[in-house]
Amino acid sequence: MTIDNDDANLPAPTDSQGTDAPTDVSRGWDHIGAIIVDATLQRRQNYNETVKPRVEALVAAWPDAATTSGFRQHLDTGKLSEVIDWPSPGRLAQVEDITQVFEREGIETVVDLRDALGDPAKGALREALAEVRHVSPKTLDYIGTLSGISTGSADVPQPE
């Protein structure tokens, strides 16, 4: 059974990260706040129409939120929902929860995140993130992709 709006949940065919893209191409952000917001909003959303514009707005409004501590300073203002135009408290709470995990695990930069996720010996971060509501193994792989780790199948956001 198909629904008329099924195609709206697929990446645009011209998207360089689309399903025909080589598996070594990855979408990524050099901005911790962008990674957290992207990973949080992507669940059951159209990436190009809903997620990407909000993440781009975040990066433009809060360029100094590229680190976890910079992102925390902005989060504490309570203005995230305005910056990304997202009123749902559930997703905003998930952003807070992921940020707290990064803080506890000493993840300050995208390089820190990539190193921690890419090293199987450092499984504490994956375990801590897996405890956050709605962070599935697929979301963990997606966070890795956003940080620059190419995992192949996680290159294209898929509805969970």
- Cα distance between residue 125 and residue 31, in whole Å: 18
- pLDDT score recorded for residue 151: 54
Query: Exposure pattern of 94-124 as b/e (b: 16+ CB <10 Å)?
Result: bbebbbebbeebebbbbebbbebbeeeeeee
- pLDDT score recorded for residue 120: 78
- pLDDT score recorded for residue 46: 92
Return per-residue pLDDT of the chain as tens, 160 residues: 444 444 444 444 434 334 333 344 446 899 999 999 999 999 999 999 999 999 999 999 999 999 999 999 999 999 999 999 998 899 999 999 999 999 999 999 999 999 999 887 778 899 999 999 999 999 999 999 999 987 554 444 444 4
* pTM tops 0.85, yes or no: no
